[in-house]
A and B are shown apart, each in its own frame.
Chain A
Amino acid sequence: MANLNIRSRQERTYQAIVVGSGISGAWAAKELCDLGVKTLMIERGRNVEHIKDYPTTNLLPYEFEHRGQIPQKIQEENPVISRCYAFREDAMHFFVKDTEHPYVQEKPFDWIRGYQVGGKSLLWARQVQRWSDFDFEGPARDGFAVDWPIRYKDIEKWYSHVEKFAGVSGNKDGLAHLPDGEFLPGYELNVVEKYFAEQLKKHYGNDRHMISSRCAHIHGNAEFYAQQGRALCQNRNLCQRGCPFGGYFSSNSSTIPWALKTGNLTIRPDAVVQSVIYDEEKGKATGVRIIDRLTKETEEFYADVIFINAAALNTNALLLNSTSNRFPNGLGNDSGLLGKYVAFHNYRARVSGEYEGHSEYTTSGGRPTSGYFPRFRNVYKQETDFLRGYAAGFSAGRGVGPDTSGIGMDLKNSLLNPDKYGPWRVGSHMMGETIPKETNYVALDPNLKDEWGMPQLKISVDYDDNDEKMVKDYIEQMTEMFTKAGFTNIQSNDSKQAPGLDIHEMGGVRMGKDPKTSLLNANHQLHAVPNVYVTDGASMTSTSTQNPSLTYMAFAARAAHHAVAESKK
């Protein structure tokens, strides 16, 4: 392979390198740049610039050749990505196709990836709930995984820090297990969602709540966000195309342009990081080796501190591939646990129903969020035959549709004057905590390689008995709550979807107090290589139930400040 190290070493040396430009990597880069650190952010995919590279953002429905549908041939060639809810004609260019980046499914695992500058931050569902100590204390209390080395007090101010900058809308709900944050005005629940929240109060006292889900959308304080070049969310609900207003938070709309403005950020797209370079004499990492995605040539970059934010499973893959005499089994892998204790969120079950009440009402306009049902199982003490619990999404809506049974002028007039209001439809989906286990792991395939000569990742992750019990309980409990609220035609469904489709894969490089049983310390440094930080999903010791991105952002910001403080010692 050609070696491109023709530029002087000095030209290829920065103070910090961040691998990955998704939600956590770009946060690390933004904080480092704000603190005056010359930072190189490396991204394996192509560059995507805010607005300029959102080709579908203002297209009207009739401008999509198949009106949104993915052609059959693409679906047949790419079965995994075709199962993702957001893989549609308007956003398919932001998703990795199965055929482009193969991996090995030792057990079925739908690995959903976005290889471009901004990563999946362009595509995420933008739901941002804080963790509390009921989450951080979970493993220690319930005896699984290892104890988190941090608690809510360690991360609280960093949640505030990232919420203020990203823009988070929500209400002060006063729930101990879902702490309030720095909120812009929250979005309104509709009349039936409010009704359901009241019914929960009536039937379950103060145990079960349904709130407006906190979301990373700008819903107030427009002047502040104008400094980032972002504007108020326009309720378009076309977020996955990239937002020309910057109404929701993404790396592309927010942290990256901000970091670029400092003059301290260099972005190197189209660079697959092959390994982290470890210097045995110095006893630390000195840089990374990349393979140019297009030319396949290799090049090295150097820095004092390295952040690995390649997205959970790719962070595992990179560390596993970074071998040396000192670390023959992967960088920092003295414990032998690198790649193990991978977990995810259990999204298998849904419950839906109808409500005949409030029939005089409907809704108008749009909103970027819906209802959120915080965990109520096993919060204060163990009370079921399974560990932990689940959160749930909840929404009610009412459509007006035409009668399409006829033909000719009758059909035409009906289509142009839709006036058939059905009942309100209510729906909920579970977001269950899964228990990290040594047997749920990722590893490098010893034989198969990708186009860049990188070993393919082998994924072996499955549900367990705890997950099955939780699915059953969710369906029972949600059905009971729907019944008590007077909903009818209640249906439940267990999709049995493979892990991964939740797009909340976590762990493998977990945090912990003891280097024998964890990879990262309380500051997100590899125990054995402290100038390497991991602050993405790979670092998660347990999963809890909240959508995890907000926590990665807070981790990244906190770790970046720690790295800078260390460098000044």
Chain B
Amino acid sequence: MNRRHALRHIALISGGLALIPSCDFSKEDILAAYENLKVTASQKALLGAISDTIIPAGEIKGALNLEVPDFILVMVNDCFTKENQDKFTAGLTAFPDYVQKTAGKKFEALSTKEKEELILNGTKLEGDDTPEGKERGNLSYFLNSTKRFTIQGYMASEYIQTEIIPYSLIPGEYNGAVLISDLQKPRING
């Protein structure tokens, strides 16, 4: 590992100018996402609560600590088609009523276990062409997209890739026949 780190160091020196990263998002992009997608303050809080249910904080930080909701909204704003953006925001808008109807409470009032069940069930909803079916489709699209981007934004975050599972720019010489039984992996407890 020391050798690899040393090599990365050399790469960094030789690539000197490339070193100052414009890390994560600019404030402008985040603001643009909120504005374009018309996300309200309460919706932002809800998205935070959902992402924190998907990957909660523990010994290791969770999604909300890493501002994953901002990542989700920038991705939806920049990388989705207009049609999919509409499905996403329709699902986000419909979510509070869905929670009220299925659980009889607001999302914040649910226990962790109830929140998890509700989201997991929501990702499995199937849509159809009826108005109710469309809403189910939007809800599951919203929850599945949110789960996918939460995982991506969390795992590809500076925190995870530097402090928890350091990403190596120098992966080392190829070994084409490594016995899995010889690999020793530390157990990382979330």
A residues near B (Cβ < 8 Å) are 51-52, 54-63, 65-67, 69, 71-73, 187-191, 193-194, 234-238, 244-245, 360-367, 404, 406-409, 411-413, 415-417, 419, 421
Q: Contacts A60-B167, A415-B55, A416-B188 given: A404-B151 contact, CB under 8 Å?
A: yes
What's the least CB distance linking A63 to chain B, in Å?
4
Q: Do A62 and B55 touch across chains, with their CB atoms under 8 A apart?
A: no
What's the least CB distance linking B99 to chain A, in Å?
15
Please measure, in the bound complex, the distance between the C-alpha atom of A65 and the C-alpha atom of B167, giving whole angstroms. 17
Please measure, in the bound complex, the distance between the C-alpha atom of A189 and the C-alpha atom of B174, giving whole angstroms. 9
Residues of B within 8 A of A244 (CB): 11, 14-15, 18
What's the least CB distance linking A62 to chain B, in Å?
5
Residue among A189, A236, A416 having the largest count of chain B Cβ atoms under 10 Å: A416
Q: Contacts A66-B75, A363-B176 given: A72-B15 contact, CB under 8 Å?
A: no
Q: Do A187 and B7 touch across chains, with their CB atoms under 8 A apart?
A: no
What's the least CB distance linking B52 to chain A, in Å?
10
Please measure, in the bound complex, the distance between the C-alpha atom of A51 and the C-alpha atom of B13, giving whole angstroms. 10
Q: Residue A409 contacts which of B7, B58, B158 (CB distance < 8 angstroms)? A: B58
Q: Do A236 and B180 touch across chains, with their CB atoms under 8 A apart?
A: no
Q: Do A363 and B56 touch across chains, with their CB atoms under 8 A apart?
A: no
Which B1-20 residues have a C-beta within 8 angstroms of A? 7, 11-12, 14-19
Q: Do A416 and B175 touch across chains, with their CB atoms under 8 A apart?
A: no
Q: Contacts A71-B78, A72-B79 given: A364-B19 contact, CB under 8 Å?
A: no
Please measure, in the bound complex, the distance between the C-alpha atom of A60 and the C-alpha atom of B158, giving whole angstroms. 8
Q: Do B161 and A62 touch across chains, with their CB atoms under 8 A apart?
A: yes
What's the least CB distance linking A4 to chain B, in Å?
32
How many chain B residues have a CB neighbour from A under 8 Å? 65
What's the least CB distance linking A472 to chain B, in Å?
32
22 A-B interface contacts by CB (under 8 A): A52-B17, A56-B18, A58-B19, A59-B21, A60-B158, A60-B169, A62-B24, A65-B22, A65-B29, A65-B74, A67-B153, A234-B7, A234-B169, A363-B174, A407-B53, A412-B55, A412-B62, A412-B190, A415-B151, A416-B165, A416-B188, A417-B188
Residues of A within 8 A of B162 (CB): 60
A55-B17, A72-B80, A415-B155 given; 19 more Cβ-contact pairs under 8 Å:
A60-B21, A63-B24, A65-B29, A67-B153, A69-B75, A191-B176, A234-B11, A245-B14, A363-B174, A363-B175, A363-B176, A364-B175, A365-B172, A366-B172, A367-B174, A408-B53, A409-B190, A415-B154, A416-B190
Which B77-112 residues have a C-beta within 8 angstroms of A? 78-81, 112
Q: Contacts A61-B161, A63-B22, A191-B177 given: A419-B56 contact, CB under 8 Å?
A: no
Q: Do B15 and A58 touch across chains, with their CB atoms under 8 A apart?
A: yes
Please measure, in the bound complex, the distance between the C-alpha atom of A363 and the C-alpha atom of B7, giving whole angstroms. 21
Q: Do B178 and A66 touch across chains, with their CB atoms under 8 A apart?
A: no
Please measure, in the bound complex, the distance between the C-alpha atom of A188 and the C-alpha atom of B183, giving whole angstroms. 20
Residues of A within 8 A of B78 (CB): 65-66, 71-73
Residues of A within 8 A of B180 (CB): 360-362, 421
Please measure, in the bound complex, the distance between the C-alpha atom of A54 and the C-alpha atom of B16, giving whole angstroms. 10
What's the least CB distance linking A139 to chain B, in Å?
39
Q: Contacts A54-B15, A72-B78 given: A412-B175 contact, CB under 8 Å?
A: no
Residues of B within 8 A of A409 (CB): 56, 58, 190
Please measure, in the bound complex, the distance between the C-alpha atom of A52 and the C-alpha atom of B62, giving whole angstroms. 37
Q: Residue B156 contacts which of A62, A191, A237 (CB distance < 8 angstroms)? A: A62
Please measure, in the bound complex, the distance between the C-alpha atom of A67 and the C-alpha atom of B25, giving whole angstroms. 11
B157 beta carbon closer than 8 Å to chain A = yes
Q: Contacts A72-B81, A412-B190, A413-B190 given: A235-B54 contact, CB under 8 Å?
A: no
Residues of B within 8 A of A61 (CB): 156, 161, 167
For the complex of A and B, 10 pairs with smallest distance between CB atoms:
A190-B176, A412-B190, A244-B15, A367-B174, A366-B171, A191-B177, A63-B21, A365-B172, A416-B188, A71-B78
Q: Residue B185 contacts which of A188, A191, A417 (CB distance < 8 angstroms)? A: A417
Please measure, in the bound complex, the distance between the C-alpha atom of A452 and the C-alpha atom of B119, giving whole angstroms. 56
What's the least CB distance linking A488 to chain B, in Å?
20
What's the least CB distance linking B25 to chain A, in Å?
6
What's the least CB distance linking A13 to chain B, in Å?
36
Q: Residue B178 contacts which of A194, A245, A364, A407 (CB distance < 8 angstroms)? A: A364
Please measure, in the bound complex, the distance between the C-alpha atom of A301 and the C-alpha atom of B11, giving whole angstroms. 39
Residue among B7, B74, B177 having the largest count of chain A Cβ atoms under 10 Å: B177
What's the least CB distance linking B31 to chain A, in Å?
14
Q: Do A407 and B167 touch across chains, with their CB atoms under 8 A apart?
A: no
B132 beta carbon closer than 8 Å to chain A = no
B189 beta carbon closer than 8 Å to chain A = yes
Please measure, in the bound complex, the distance between the C-alpha atom of A191 and the C-alpha atom of B179, giving whole angstroms. 11
Which B44-85 residues have a C-beta within 8 angstroms of A? 53-56, 58, 60, 62, 74-75, 78-81
Residues of A within 8 A of B172 (CB): 235, 364-366
Please measure, in the bound complex, the distance between the C-alpha atom of A413 and the C-alpha atom of B154, giving whole angstroms. 13
What's the least CB distance linking A142 to chain B, in Å?
38
Residues of B within 8 A of A407 (CB): 53-54, 116, 119-120, 147
Chain A residue with the shortest CB-CB distance to B167: A60
Residues of A within 8 A of B175 (CB): 188, 363-365
Please measure, in the bound complex, the distance between the C-alpha atom of A364 and the C-alpha atom of B21, giving whole angstroms. 28
Chain B residue with the shortest CB-CB distance to A65: B25
Chain A residue with the shortest CB-CB distance to B13: A244
B40 beta carbon closer than 8 Å to chain A = no
Please measure, in the bound complex, the distance between the C-alpha atom of A362 and the C-alpha atom of B75, giving whole angstroms. 33
Q: Do B174 and A187 touch across chains, with their CB atoms under 8 A apart?
A: yes
Q: Residue A235 contacts which of B24, B152, B170 (CB distance < 8 angstroms)? A: B170
B27 beta carbon closer than 8 Å to chain A = no
Residue among A51, A189, A194 having the largest count of chain B Cβ atoms under 10 Å: A51
Residue among A188, A362, A408 having the largest count of chain B Cβ atoms under 10 Å: A408
Q: Residue A190 contacts which of B55, B171, B177 (CB distance < 8 angstroms)? A: B177
Q: Residue B177 contacts which of A51, A60, A187, A361 (CB distance < 8 angstroms)? A: A361
B187 beta carbon closer than 8 Å to chain A = yes
Residues of A within 8 A of B18 (CB): 51, 54-59, 244
Residues of A within 8 A of B41 (CB): none
B173 beta carbon closer than 8 Å to chain A = yes
What's the least CB distance linking B26 to chain A, in Å?
8
What's the least CB distance linking B146 to chain A, in Å?
11
Please measure, in the bound complex, the distance between the C-alpha atom of A407 and the C-alpha atom of B114, giving whole angstroms. 12
B181 beta carbon closer than 8 Å to chain A = yes
Please measure, in the bound complex, the distance between the C-alpha atom of A238 and the C-alpha atom of B167, giving whole angstroms. 14
Residues of A within 8 A of B24 (CB): 62-63, 65
Residues of A within 8 A of B147 (CB): 407
Q: Do B187 and A417 touch across chains, with their CB atoms under 8 A apart?
A: yes
